[in-house]
Amino acid sequence: MRIRSAIACGGFILLCGAVGLSAQMRGMQGWGAPAMSGLWHPVVGSGAVYDVDRDGNKTTFELDIVGKESMAGKDAVWVEFSFNDSRMGPVFAKSLVGVDGQQYQTIKTIMQMPGMPPMEMPQGQSHPVQVKDIHQNSTDVGSESVTVPAGTFTCEHYKTKEGADVWVSEKVVPVGLIKSVEKGETIVLEKTITDAKDKIVGTPVPFDPMKMMQMMQMMQNRPPQ
């Protein structure tokens, strides 16, 4: 199970199948996110940029809280994920996520690929997902000072049952993740953001699978930039 599940929400699973983002996003619902397990602080405007090194292949992605809505009398937040694909260019996706205690539910997902309007993805029947609390389901190794590109942080070091080492800090929002290391993959915090804005522009249109396939085929045939 990949620790990148620590920084994602359930709605993005749909995006993996839709746009082939498995290199960044595969396996998101497994162990349970620090974002959804005791360190979730969805402050609108907060964000974080992470560097990922997976078997020598390096990528960077950004995770932001870009809005809040009231759904059935409860708060839900827009969680936006973005990265720059070497062939496609910038890809943006956001999910409206409602959190109730130890459950979260993806209410709506919108994505935007280069040269296309934003599309609202087919949600289907969405059920609340029960998540595990990192404080209860991992071994607390103790407090440690960790230096990453974003700076030096006093972190709590956890070791998951799957053998991943995770360093988190409640002072870093929205998800608390500072660094994670597991076999073949390292994620580190590059920088924090305090004025995150929605990168998806335009009025969302219904998902068009044919246009998506055409765009994917065209982009995949481009040489990496």
Confidence tier at 221 by pLDDT (50, 70, 90):
low
| Residue/partner pairs of 92-99 with CB below 8 Å, 24 or more apart | 92/118, 92/199, 92/200, 93/12, 93/15, 94/66, 94/198, 94/200, 95/9, 95/10, 95/11, 95/12, 96/11, 96/69, 96/71, 97/9, 97/10, 97/11, 98/71, 98/74, 99/36, 99/40, 99/42, 99/75
Q: Residue 40's pLDDT is what?
A: 79
pLDDT higher than threshold 90 for residue 195: yes
Q: Residue 130's pLDDT is what?
A: 67
pLDDT in tens, 115-173: 889 999 887 656 676 666 677 778 999 999 999 999 999 999 999 888 889 999 988 98
